[in-house]
Amino acid sequence: MVIRAGVIGHPIAHSLSPRIHNTWFADHALAGEYNAVDVHPDDLADAIRRLMESGWAGVNVTLPHKQAAYELADIANPVAEAQGAANLLIFSDGKVIADNTDVAGFRRCMGSSVGEGSHHRAVVLGAGGAAGPIIQNVLFCDEIVVINRTSSKAEELARRFGPRVRAGGWEELADLLPDTDYLINATSLGMRGQPALDVDASLLPSHAEVFDIVYAPLETSLLRAARARGLKAVGGLPMLVYQAAPSFKAFTGVEVRNPEAVLKSLEADLS
């Protein structure tokens, strides 16, 4: 039997997920097919039903559907529930189950030693769909400041995660950075075709770690500036691959053996 799965979004043509999953089907000698499906927000509920009824194992969910997909699901696991958003829907016995593997994806990017010792502050730029899974992973910090163009969205997100998370303003960034352990860009600023992200990485302390979840271009100006200073700096491609691996397991029951191989091949092609 051919395992069928895919990713739904709008737009979706740019998605790298089909390449990642179809590589893994081949690597693990599984008969499978993973496709990108453009789904208009007005058609989301019908599209999910149609895919489930045609025998798909499930779908990944991307912009702009993560919240609506969570709300449409029959059952949500605790990770998706904590986020109020789903990047993965599994179809099982006629039910839609919501999950969120962005949380585990970002955790794996941070490395196994993350959270050891004391950490004063994380600054998260952005309060869109990608910001929640990131905040979830830096809750070990004493303070998490979420900075977003639309401040009401940062405030709403901060409330979801409790008292150590607060909304901040762009104007306080320069004062925050010298005492920041983790700086994470979760906006679309710095992405190809989008305005630049204006952050002065020279203000960060020498132990700071910088993450930019944008992956086109592979090396954003934030990453370049952080690396020039010798800071640990991780781009968006690892998160994309590491959220895909548990999704693949959910579709197939098979653990991805070596996700770094597809990561390396994407890096080589995109650089």
User: In the set 243, 248, 250, 256, which binds ligand NAP (CB under 6 A)?
Assistant: 243
Residue nearest to ligand NAP (CB): 128
Separation in Å, CA 190 to CA 24, 123, 239: 30, 17, 17
The identity of residue 62, as a single letter, is: T
- Measured from the CB atom, is 32 or 235 closer to ligand NAP? 235
Interaction mask 27-56, ligand NAP, x per CB under 6 A:
------------------------------
Residue 238 beta carbon to ligand NAP: minimum distance, rounded to whole angstroms: 8
Residue 168 engages ligand NAP in binding (rule: CB under 6 A): no
**Cβ–Cβ < 8 Å for 198, 171:** no
Residue 128 engages ligand NAP in binding (rule: CB under 6 A): yes
User: In the set 236, 252, 259, 266, which binds ligand NAP (CB under 6 A)?
Assistant: 236
Chain-centre distance for alpha carbon 99: 13
The identity of residue 215, as a single letter, is: Y
Sheet of 95-99, strands arranged across: 32-38, 3-9, 58-61, 88-92, 95-99, 75-76
The identity of residue 70, as a single letter, is: Y
Residue 146 engages ligand NAP in binding (rule: CB under 6 A): no
Q: What's the CA gap between 209 and 201, in Å, rounded? A: 10
Q: Is the dihedral of CA 87, 91, 97, 103 positive or negative?
A: negative
Sheet of 232-234, strands arranged across: 165-168, 143-147, 121-125, 182-185, 209-212, 232-234
User: In the set 22, 67, 92, 188, which binds ligand NAP (CB under 6 A)?
Assistant: 188
Q: Which residues of 132-164 are buried (b: 16+ CB within 10 A; e: fewer)?
A: bbbbbbbebbebbbbbbeeeebbeebbeebeeb
Residue 101 engages ligand NAP in binding (rule: CB under 6 A): no
- Residues serving a catalytic function are 66
Residue 54 beta carbon to ligand NAP: minimum distance, rounded to whole angstroms: 27
Residue 129 engages ligand NAP in binding (rule: CB under 6 A): yes
Q: Which of residues 59-88 bind ligand NAP (CB under 6 A)?
A: 63
> Segment near ligand NAP (CB under 6 A), from 17-25, 36-44, 187-195, 247-255?
187-195
Residue 28 beta carbon to ligand NAP: minimum distance, rounded to whole angstroms: 22
Name the site residues for ligand NAP (rule: CB under 6 A).
63, 126-131, 148-150, 153, 186-189, 191, 195, 213-215, 236, 239-240, 243
